[in-house]
Chains A and B, each alone.
Chain A
Amino acid sequence: MIKRIEKDHQRFRQIVKGAIRKDLKKYISHTELIGKKGKNIVSIPVPQIEIPRFRYGRRQTGGVGQGKGDPGTPIGADPNDGQSTGQAGNSPGDHILEAEITLEELVSILADELELPRIEPKGKSTVVAEKTKYSSIRHVGPESLKHFKRTYREALKRQISLNSYDFKNPSIIPIRHDKRYRAWKEVPLPETNAVVFYIMDVSGSMGTEQKEIVRTESFWINTWLKANYKGVTTRYIVHDAAAHEVDEKTFFNLRESGGTVISSAYKLVSKIVRAKYNPEEWNVYFFQFSDGDNWGESDSETCISILKEELLPVANLFAYGQVWSAYGSGQFIEYLRDAFEDEEKVITSEIDNKEGIYDSIKVFLGKGL
């Protein structure tokens, strides 16, 4: 039986999740609100969920305290208020509740809200590991798998019902009929792995705000892919006129300047995939972010041909997000759209500002590729 309090607690959790769902757009564009707590748990500030009642505006009341000090001595937060700072705003919910939820819960809210389909991993036929799981009991089996407790219980039951149980000398002797063994099942475990390439343009025209957008969007994409694949590897490529691979921290902080040659990045990515990620075994994702400024038409054409010949054949998805910037020409997205009108693996989206992230994620992940 589930304990009563557990039920009430679950109801409360549902309400919390509802509150998160309601404000999901806000949380998506402001990942700084989301705190990490341990490996798999995040904390999200939600307005305190409470029963509204007529009450006094806190700040006006003041109160009585005890201790030393002259009039005018600050005493910190409202002493009558255990937890909050006593902000007397004009809305209830001045109290903020740090709701803790697991990443999985967050992802499932995300999926429901954005109506994201679950990804169909490819290669599941080839990479299947088998795992044995002890999940039942049978009457025969090797002694090493004997279930002692069950066997004992059976024997005890039998002896009591046969009236051969002596309370003064409570010894239990199992016979063959009493014996119980653990039994196992083979559970096929699809070992699906995914590698995600994040490619970012770091030419002079990509400013802090643009990078922040890329960072936020990558966070959600990563979270989503992690929820769908057992193992997710991420690789980060930055490029201006030349491309190179960097670690995560550098990826989001690097600021370079100079021209933009997108094909340099494609070439590098293609090389890495060929060397390390056999498309038979890996689900390969590309997410490219740029302000759409490329060095000349000829390079853009080179890009299209690398995409066509080398990247798309191995990719689950090629997503291109064009971040609006005052300095970018924004041309590149047009090239892609022209060249891959009917290619469902190529998805493009334009992100004007932080609020655009929500829709962009929806576009990128909405097909379930």
Chain B
Amino acid sequence: MLNAMENYSRKLPAELQRWQGKIKDIAQKAGLDFYETIFEMLDFNQMNEVASYLGFPTRYPHWRFGMEYEEMQKGYSYGLHRIYEMVINNDPTYAYLLESNNLVDQKLVMAHVYAHVDFFKNNTWFSHTNRHMMDEMANHATRINRYIERYGIETVENFIDSCLSLENLIDYHSPYIKRKREKTKQREYRPTIHKLASKPYMDKYVNPPEFIEQQKIKLKTRGEQKKKFPQEPEKDVLLFFLNHAPLESWQQDVLSIIREEAYYFAPQGMTKIMNEGWATFWHTKLMTEKILSDSEVIDYADHHSGTVSAQPGRLNPYKLGVELFRDIKERWDKGKFGKAYEECEDWERKEKWNKKLNLGLEKVFEVRRFYNDITFIDTFFTEEFVRKNNYFTYKYDPDSEQYKIDSRDFKKIKEKFLFSLTNMGQPFIEVMDGNYENRGELYLKHRYEGIELHRGYAQETLKNLVKLWTRPVIIETVAEDKPILFRYDGTEFMVGSIEE
């Protein structure tokens, strides 16, 4: 399947090949641990094409890739942005270099890429991703193309559109939890009254009639619970549809493809700040310490500052990530952690604190293995760090119709930040009942945490869900501090209040 690349593939010129060897060596010696990495040269159009497919040269046909492509082409021709590199979590890893970049850029990108690959390989949140996704994506494309041949592009594409409305309704943590729902549990459920163990002659004392009666009631209610499905709210709404929506087998297959791809990309969303921070941390370190020649310093500084520049008011994940990693390294080098440091109230002493532990490098490697963005921010986004780097919260001010700086209070900033990362900034939606009021309707619930759903989007999303579920779909949420229901039955959209 690797010959999918042959459409594009341009081997690296000899000089870059030589540099690749060197940089690989330097990166390995620095302690990075990565898969075999294959670099390819692409021109702008090819780069935009591959980027539209999120790095995979062979994906199923869908208009949204075309839309991405058009936007990227436009962005390029207006000089707004330009993609320098792409790297795919796969073994072997594929990474793309932009043909027109100069040598310094290419070196920078290669160093950056090796750190990304190290992250993919070693960060625990990636441990469940398919490392042969290149082949898998091509396989998905083949399957979907087969359906298109059979059912027509319109039918299949419309179905994919509907499925994509579910794409964010997955349980980001589920790959790491072994769930109960294993196939082996298919044995028939036969209710038996649970008695306490006893010798026969003691039985009526150990298990008196009242107790038996109690157990019977328990059994009955449990039986009723059995009938309700899902038994517990289901976070993986997509999986629920896969198992319970009345889909034809090709549709089921398409939905499973969408789900698989969503889970494959999920860890990248969960570690964006870290992953970029890590790659930037290493490319600066390797470039400045080992790779650069004197004449390249200016160009390097220019491009590097471009990638980590922060527009006023904006948060640049590259910048934040690398600053945090550097901060961690410094703190663990100097011993600025632990009880004694935390409890020290003397600002000046804290500032000058240095126990010369030199644990920094070890610590950052540990962090890259076990953390994701949420735990990363939760643990290392400290008050000192926030103060040093001028963070703030902002919010929309309806009077002036502008976004304004809201607060510089550390607690508020951190809270807001963590919230924006939780569930990748997506609302929590769960399936409560797949047979609501015994009418086969689907009852979803938005776990309200202070922010309302966008009503217009909710409405359009419900429409797509009804197409899949084929019965009315309801979502419970909160609007203006009151619980509220949105319901779509295939023709009409309704808003209702909840009677307790």
A-side residues, CB < 8 A to B, are 3-5, 7-15, 49-80, 86, 88-94
Q: Mark B124-159, 1 if CB is under 8 A from A, else 0.
A: 000000000000000000000000000001000100
A51-B49 Cα distance, complex, nearest whole Å: 20
A354-B389 Cα distance, complex, nearest whole Å: 56
Write out the residue numbers on chain B whose beta carbons fall within 8 Å of the beta carbon of A50. 64
A56 → chain B closest CB, angstroms = 5
A84 → chain B closest CB, angstroms = 13
B164 → chain A closest CB, angstroms = 4
Q: Are B169 and A78 in contact (CB under 8 A)?
A: no
Q: Are B63 and A12 in contact (CB under 8 A)?
A: yes
Known contacts A53-B165, A55-B453, A88-B454: A9-B427 contact under CB 8 Å: no
Write out the residue numbers on chain B whose beta carbons fall within 8 Å of the beta carbon of A53. 164-165, 167-168, 426, 457, 461
Q: Are A49 and B67 in contact (CB under 8 A)?
A: yes
A48's closest neighbor in chain B, by CB?
B67
B447 → chain A closest CB, angstroms = 11
Q: Are B452 and A60 in contact (CB under 8 A)?
A: yes
Write out the residue numbers on chain A whose beta carbons fall within 8 Å of the beta carbon of B390. 66-68
A85's closest neighbor in chain B, by CB?
B401
A13-B475 Cα distance, complex, nearest whole Å: 33
- Name the residue among A54, A74, A76, A93 with the largest chain B CB count within 10 angstroms: A54
CB pairs A–B below 8 angstroms (12 shown): A8-B62, A11-B61, A11-B66, A11-B153, A56-B425, A64-B393, A64-B394, A66-B389, A75-B394, A75-B403, A79-B311, A86-B396
A71-B406 Cα distance, complex, nearest whole Å: 5
Write out the residue numbers on chain B whose beta carbons fall within 8 Å of the beta carbon of A70. 405
Number of A-B contacts (CB under 8 A): 202
Q: Are A63 and B420 in contact (CB under 8 A)?
A: yes
Write out the residue numbers on chain A whose beta carbons fall within 8 Å of the beta carbon of B446. 54
Q: Are A92 and B460 in contact (CB under 8 A)?
A: yes
Q: Interface residues of B: mostly helix, strand, loop or mixed?
A: mixed
Which residues 39-84 in B have Cβ within 8 Å of A in the complex?
A: 49, 52-53, 58-59, 61-67, 69-70
Out of B59, B65, B70, B454, which one reaches A57, CB within 8 Å?
A: B454
B50 → chain A closest CB, angstroms = 9
Instruction: Indicate whether B30 reaches chain A with its CB closer than 8 angstroms.
Output: no
Instruction: Indicate whether B180 reaches chain A with its CB closer than 8 angstroms.
Output: no
Q: Are B413 and A73 in contact (CB under 8 A)?
A: no
Instruction: Indicate whether B183 reaches chain A with its CB closer than 8 angstroms.
Output: no
Known contacts A52-B165, A58-B454: A12-B405 contact under CB 8 Å: no
Which residues 409-450 in B have Cβ within 8 Å of A in the complex?
A: 413, 416-417, 420, 425-427, 429, 446
Write out the residue numbers on chain A whose beta carbons fall within 8 Å of the beta carbon of B35. none
Q: Are A57 and B451 in contact (CB under 8 A)?
A: yes
Out of B52, B64, B164, B310, which one reaches A66, CB within 8 Å?
A: B310
Known contacts A55-B457, A67-B390: A72-B427 contact under CB 8 Å: no
Out of B61, B62, B169, B313, which one reaches A75, CB within 8 Å?
A: B313
Write out the residue numbers on chain B whose beta carbons fall within 8 Å of the beta carbon of A77. 403
Known contacts A51-B164, A54-B458, A56-B427: A67-B70 contact under CB 8 Å: no
Write out the residue numbers on chain A whose beta carbons fall within 8 Å of the beta carbon of B69. 5, 8-9, 12
Q: Are B460 and A52 in contact (CB under 8 A)?
A: yes
A334 → chain B closest CB, angstroms = 47
Write out the residue numbers on chain B whose beta carbons fall within 8 Å of the beta carbon of A73. 404-405
A70's closest neighbor in chain B, by CB?
B405
Q: Are A90 and B456 in contact (CB under 8 A)?
A: yes
Out of B61, B70, B408, which one reaches A71, CB within 8 Å?
A: B408
Q: Are B396 and A78 in contact (CB under 8 A)?
A: yes
Q: Mark B445-488, 1 if CB is under 8 A from A, else 0.
A: 01000011111111111011000000000010000000000000
Write out the residue numbers on chain A whose beta carbons fall within 8 Å of the beta carbon of B305. none
Q: Mark B207-246, 1 if CB is under 8 A from A, else 0.
A: 0000000000000000000000000000000000000000
Write out the residue numbers on chain B whose beta carbons fall within 8 Å of the beta carbon of A51. 64, 161, 164-165, 167, 464
- Name the residue among A3, A10, A66, A88 with the largest chain B CB count within 10 angstroms: A66
A10-B69 Cα distance, complex, nearest whole Å: 11
Instruction: Indicate whether B365 reaches chain A with its CB closer than 8 angstroms.
Output: no
B420's closest neighbor in chain A, by CB?
A63
Known contacts A49-B67, A52-B464: A74-B403 contact under CB 8 Å: yes
- Name the residue among B63, B316, B319 with the largest chain A CB count within 10 angstroms: B63
A115-B395 Cα distance, complex, nearest whole Å: 50
B255 → chain A closest CB, angstroms = 14
Q: Are B456 and A89 in contact (CB under 8 A)?
A: yes
Q: Are A52 and B403 in contact (CB under 8 A)?
A: no
A63-B64 Cα distance, complex, nearest whole Å: 28
Which residues 300-340 in B have Cβ within 8 Å of A in the complex?
A: 310-316, 319-320
A83's closest neighbor in chain B, by CB?
B71
Q: Are A67 and B63 in contact (CB under 8 A)?
A: no
B428's closest neighbor in chain A, by CB?
A54
Write out the residue numbers on chain A whose beta carbons fall within 8 Å of the beta carbon of B456. 89-94
- Name the residue among A13, A63, A89 with the largest chain B CB count within 10 angstroms: A63
A59-B455 Cα distance, complex, nearest whole Å: 13
Q: Are A54 and B394 in contact (CB under 8 A)?
A: no
Q: Are B463 and A52 in contact (CB under 8 A)?
A: yes
> Sorted from nearest, which 9 A-B pairs have the closest CB atoms?
A52-B460, A62-B395, A12-B66, A8-B66, A9-B66, A75-B313, A91-B456, A11-B63, A59-B396
Q: Are A54 and B168 in contact (CB under 8 A)?
A: yes
A76 → chain B closest CB, angstroms = 7
Q: Are A64 and B392 in contact (CB under 8 A)?
A: yes
Out of B65, B313, B391, B461, which one reaches A76, CB within 8 Å?
A: B313
Q: Are B312 and A67 in contact (CB under 8 A)?
A: yes
B407's closest neighbor in chain A, by CB?
A71
Write out the residue numbers on chain B whose beta carbons fall within 8 Å of the beta carbon of A60. 396, 451-452
Q: Are A5 and B168 in contact (CB under 8 A)?
A: no
Write out the residue numbers on chain A whose beta carbons fall within 8 Å of the beta carbon of B168. 53-55
A52-B420 Cα distance, complex, nearest whole Å: 20
Write out the residue numbers on chain A whose beta carbons fall within 8 Å of the beta carbon of B426. 53-55
A10-B157 Cα distance, complex, nearest whole Å: 14
A25-B394 Cα distance, complex, nearest whole Å: 41
Q: Are B429 and A54 in contact (CB under 8 A)?
A: yes
Known contacts A51-B164, A75-B404: A4-B457 contact under CB 8 Å: no
Known contacts A10-B66, A11-B61, A55-B426: A69-B405 contact under CB 8 Å: yes
Known contacts A5-B66, A8-B69, A12-B67: A57-B403 contact under CB 8 Å: no
Q: Are A52 and B313 in contact (CB under 8 A)?
A: no
- Name the residue among A70, A92, A93 with the largest chain B CB count within 10 angstroms: A92
A65-B408 Cα distance, complex, nearest whole Å: 10
Write out the residue numbers on chain B whose beta carbons fall within 8 Å of the beta carbon of A54. 168-169, 426-427, 429, 446, 453, 457-458, 461, 475
A166-B405 Cα distance, complex, nearest whole Å: 76
A10-B397 Cα distance, complex, nearest whole Å: 41
B70 → chain A closest CB, angstroms = 6
A4-B138 Cα distance, complex, nearest whole Å: 13
Known: A12-B63, A62-B393; 9 extra A-B contacts, CB below 8 A, are: A4-B59, A9-B69, A12-B69, A54-B453, A63-B417, A67-B310, A71-B405, A79-B403, A92-B457
B473 → chain A closest CB, angstroms = 11
Write out the residue numbers on chain A whose beta carbons fall within 8 Å of the beta carbon of B452. 56-57, 60
Instruction: Indicate whether B186 reaches chain A with its CB closer than 8 angstroms.
Output: no
B398's closest neighbor in chain A, by CB?
A59
A139 → chain B closest CB, angstroms = 36
A225 → chain B closest CB, angstroms = 30
